[in-house]
Amino acid sequence: MGYLLGILLVSFIVNALTLIPFIGILYKLKLQRQHQKTKDVFNLPTPIFDNINNKKKGIPIGGGFLIIITVTIIFLLSFPILFYFWVPITSIYTNIASELKVLLFSFISFGLIGLYDDIKKIFLGKSDKFFGLSLKHKLLFEIILSSLISFWLYKELKIEIIHIPFIGVIDIGIFYIFFSTFVITSFANAFNITDGLDGLASGVLVIALIAFWVISNSILDTPLSLFIAIWLGALIAFLYFNIYPARIFLGDVGALSFGATFAVIGLLLGKTFSLIVIGGLFVAEILSSFLQLASKKYRNKKLIKVAPLHLWFQERGWHESTIVFRAWIGTIILSFIGLWLAFIR
């Protein structure tokens, strides 16, 4: 545990020292939040969403890009160091190389989709209906990547079971690929939807990852424990600059990458049910958006005035910081519940 805490601190220091000049670079490159005039999937304007979010115009986006770079480099450099100091590398999987491949591929590939979306929003203008990459194309790319990752989980790491507390383990065979694809794609979009207030998504992720860190240490999975430690150090440094009033945002490059990787870690830990509970805030956010869209389509009226939930609370007069802090507290409670469920046989 000592070496993990040390690597976490190294990651924190590296990111803390690089974030300030990185923010300056983003300003010079004009990678800043633009004025938005968006439309929903029914091609209808979203004035409440635009009015709330356009207050953040001009703040740099792309913090996720730096985190992906630093975490990946530190993660890869850590293994030779561990070998040098004779630190044992253990895993619940016999094919550690495949475990590393799944982790890094998820982290980087979803980030590339988000990076393209960020660049398109800022420099390439809008598409006809959407701000940035169209929902249809983005979802298609996400499903392709999620399917590939799911295939590796099933074929190379031999994962085909789901653990349900109080019931036991259920073997779903090849259907695990479809299940995993749905989970990864859903969490990628859920995180992206949640990332709308200063410190909301990144703070919730820090708390949730600490819970996953406890699980990974309990099963002695070095690659997962190491990756989570490095990621936590980077996120804590980023959160310092992302809390209200934010000086930098993750951007889609970070949101899509982090949501997908969070789901992949939950799947690798074999704790899908705990993933849904610990990531309950992300689930609530995407569920509120889905129910809103379904209500518009089938009832021809909104379920709530604006979705997702954090925007609804903001529209009702809650201060941004109040929403964020209460979301953090809620995630702390959900993490305790998720940990309890994770250790139930």
Binding residues: 192, 252
Binding residues for Mg(2+): 192, 252
**What is the phi/psi pair of residue 239, to 5°?**
-60, -30
Q: How far apart are CA 183 and CA 168, in angstroms?
A: 20
| Per-residue confidence (pLDDT) for residue 329, from 0 to 100 | 98
3-state secondary structure of 60: strand
Is residue 148 within 8 Å of residue 177, measured between CB atoms? no
Question: Using CB atoms within 10 A of its CB, is residue 86 exposed (0-12), middle (13-18) or buried (19+)?
Answer: exposed
Structure token pair of residue 106: 């998820």
Q: What is the average pLDDT score of the chain?
A: 91
Alpha helices by DSSP H, the chain: 2-28, 47-53, 63-84, 96-123, 135-155, 176-194, 200-218, 222-242, 251-268, 272-278, 280-299, 309-315, 320-342
Q: How far apart are CA 325 and CA 327, in angstroms?
A: 5
Residue ranges of the chain with pLDDT lower than 70?
35-54, 125-133
- Name residue 162's beta-bridge partners: 170
Q: Tell me the per-residue pLDDT of 107-151, one tens digit each, with 9 for 90 and over.
A: 999 999 999 999 988 877 554 444 566 788 899 999 999 999 999
CA angle 74, 278, 330 (to 5 degrees): 110
Structure token pair of residue 343: 């250790």
**Type of residue at 250:** L
| Per-residue confidence (pLDDT) for residue 51, from 0 to 100 | 67
| Per-residue confidence (pLDDT) for residue 127, from 0 to 100 | 47
From residue 268, give the alpha-carbon distance in Å to each of 187, 263, 275.
15, 9, 11
From residue 122, give the alpha-carbon distance in Å to each of 110, 116, 119, 153.
19, 10, 5, 35
Structure token pair of residue 56: 């953040």
Handedness of CA 322, 324, 327, 333 (dihedral sign): negative
For the chain, give every domain's residue range. Answer: 2-342
| Per-residue confidence (pLDDT) for residue 185, from 0 to 100 | 98
| Per-residue confidence (pLDDT) for residue 167, from 0 to 100 | 86
| Residue located via tokens 């609370």 | 313
**What is the phi/psi pair of residue 156, to 5°?**
-90, -35
Side-chain-facing half-sphere of 199: CA atoms under 13 Å:
20
| Per-residue confidence (pLDDT) for residue 319, from 0 to 100 | 94
| Per-residue confidence (pLDDT) for residue 48, from 0 to 100 | 59
| Residue located via tokens 């959900």 | 334
Structure token pair of residue 112: 């590339």
